[in-house]
Amino acid sequence: MPGVERLTALPAALRAPGRTLVMGVVNVTPDSFSDGGRWFDADAAVAHGLELLGQGADLLDVGGESTRPGAARVPVDEERGRVLPVVRRLVAAGAAVSVDTTRASVAEAAVDAGAVLVNDVSGGMADPGMAAVVARTGAAYVAMHWRGHADVMDAHDRYDDVVADVRRELAERVVALRRAGVRDEQVVLDPGLGFAKTGASNWPLLAHLPELVADGLPVLVGASRKRFLGHLLAGADGRPVPPAARDHATAAVTALAAAAGVWAVRVHEVAASADAVRVAAAWRAAGAPPGSTAGTTTKAGRATVRVGHAAGRTPGPEGVR
């Protein structure tokens, strides 16, 4: 997987497993689109996380604030109170844990509690203090493509070329992170499927994942149960299928994303995706030329937007949780 060997902010087991990793979602929220608050209680959330580990999750993403379209923000103390007990208990159980938050104070507290990665859907734009926390703690950091909070993001689904625009805006975030002292070795990029992308905008990003992977930093993909899959699978009446009925489609996206060389996929139902990444790894290995790396990808069609590796280098030319 291109760029993964440089992700030294993560434990070795999360850098070079020879396949795409599976990140299991643990929503400690009462209003998640995907599970309706089934894991809102801390005991239930911990039990669910351990179940996901048993299904093959490589790491667990714990979040205490819903980012489904239209969701209102929760007070920071409430988010912290939801997340930290679950993070501590899962870490104590031996899990590699990520914290899903846009708030610097929550991220810092979670890292202090043992989280190894901060998964920020805003890419540092929601909280000006986030980059400093990431730089100071040395934690791995997912910077997602983002154009606004859940209550307004659908209005920002306007692109000249969604693939080029997302790659350019992510490259700008990398430059901003570097200026704040965040090392490339900490950074993972996420194209932000469903965030300021209500439907058709998601498919070109998936189709051109090899280009984003080739830009040089590890990539996380979060397509699980999202609206664009629900609309794709709609019945004759045009109504999207419910979130839990989107898991087979999610596993199909996982296989394709893994074949494209992404570092990890973020999913609600782990077992099928755990199988899918292994199929993709075997597929890639079988197709690699002798003496080459199975993770090599090619660029096609569009100009490359390089994020580069040297600090300070300038880059060239349905959001549901």
Known catalytic residue: 299? no
Known catalytic residue: 266? yes
User: Are 209 and 220 in contact, with CB atoms under 8 Å apart?
Assistant: no
List 226, 227, 246, 284, catalytic entry: 226
List 15, 19, 68, 266, catalytic entry: 266
Output the CA torsion sign for 252, 193, 210, 56.
negative
Closest by CA to 240, choosing from 248, 224, 250, 229, is: 229
- What's the per-residue H, E or C state across 94-148? CCCEEEECCCHHHHHHHHHCCCCEEEECCCCCCCCCHHHHHHHHCCEEEEECCCC
Q: What is the residue whose two structure tokens read 């580990």?
A: 53
User: Are 10 and 117 in contact, with CB atoms under 8 Å apart?
Assistant: yes
The DSSP result for 187-237, as a single string, is: EEEE--TTSS--STTHHHHHHTHHHHHHTSS-BEE--TT-HHHHHHT--TT
The pairing of strands 97-100 and 59-63 is parallel
What are the C-alpha distances in Å from 18 to residues 56, 261, 279, 280?
A: 15, 10, 12, 11
Active site residues: 226, 266
